[in-house]
């Protein structure tokens, strides 16, 4: 999910089952430990667990489709290699218009 997408509360949308939605979000949160590329999208979808709408469920299903399409991707680190890990992070406070929560971004480079 692009960071410029306007993902909001969707007050006019069709309500979805909270238990099912929360279960899907829980599964995705578990996967973020091994798939850091979905952290932003999952965190954005997790904000709507209290009253999920059909548009939020569509976004969650898109994340699952992405994971299904990238299951054969991975990283390989050669034995005995010297690596340098460099990390950068950025936080925007009160930028998200729907609920004024902060949004964090981070990236790490392994050289």
Chain segment 7-51, per-residue pLDDT in tens: 777 888 898 899 999 999 999 999 988 888 888 889 889 989 988
pTM for this entry: 0.69
Long-range contacts of 35-39 (CB under 8 A, 24+ apart): 35/67, 38/63, 38/66, 38/67
**Mean pLDDT, residues 42-62:** 90
Proportion of the chain above pLDDT 90, given as a percent: 29
d(CA 96, CA 6): 9
């Amino acid at each position: 999910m692009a960071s410029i997408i306007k993902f909001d509360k969707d007050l006019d949308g069709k309500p979805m089952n909270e238990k099912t939605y929360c279960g899907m979000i829980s599964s995705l949160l578990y996967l973020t430990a091994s798939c850091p590329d979905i952290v932003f999208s999952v965190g954005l979808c997790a904000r709507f667990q209290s009253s999920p709408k059909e548009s939020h469920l569509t976004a969650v299903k898109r994340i699952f489709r992405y994971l299904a399409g990238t299951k054969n991707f991975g990283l390989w680190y050669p034995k005995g290699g010297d690596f340098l890990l460099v990390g950068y992070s950025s936080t925007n406070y009160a930028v998200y218009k729907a609920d004024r929560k902060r949004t964090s971004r981070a990236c790490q480079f392994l050289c």
